Amino acid sequence: MIQQALKYSFSSAVITILSFVYFAVLLRFVNYTIAYVITFALGVTSQFFAQSLFVFRKKLIVWKLPIMFCIYIGQAIAVYAVLWSLINLADVSELMSFVLATFAAFPVTFLFNKLLIER
C-alpha cells in the first residue's frame, strides 16, 4: 500500500500541477467557479486513467468512471466550500486558495479511489 500511496502521490502531483495551470489559464477568461468546474472535469478523467493504469495497475473498467466522478463530486463540494471560504472570508488569493483546498482533500480521496479501483 505504501508503494501505491507513493505512485498516487506522484500521479496526483502531476495532475494537480496540470490542474493548477488549467485553472490559472482559465481564470483569464472566466470566473473562478467556471474555471474550477472545467478543471475538475479534466482532473477527474485524468485521475481515472492514471490510477487505473499506473497506480493500482488494474484493467481499465469504464463503468467505474461515473462512480469516480461521484467520489470527486463529493470532494469537489468540500474543496469548493474551502475555496470559497478562503477567498471570501479569509481574503486568501484565488490561486493559493485552490492549492490549499486541493491538498486538504488528498488523504480521503486516496482511500476512496483505492477502494473503487481495486474492487
Per-residue pLDDT reduced to its tens digit, 81-92:
999 999 999 999
CA 108 to chain centre: 11
Q: What percent of the chain has pLDDT over 90?
A: 34
| pLDDT at 91 (0 to 100) | 96
Q: How far is C-alpha 38 from the chain's CA centre?
A: 12
**Alpha-carbon span 91 to 10, nearest angstrom:** 30
**Which sign does the torsion angle of CA 107, 103, 109, 2 carry?**
negative
Residues 56 and 118: beta-carbon distance below 8 Å? yes
pLDDT at 62: 84
For helices 64-88 and 106-118, what crossing angle results, to 10°?
A: 170
Place of cell 481495486: 118
pTM over 0.85, yes/no: no
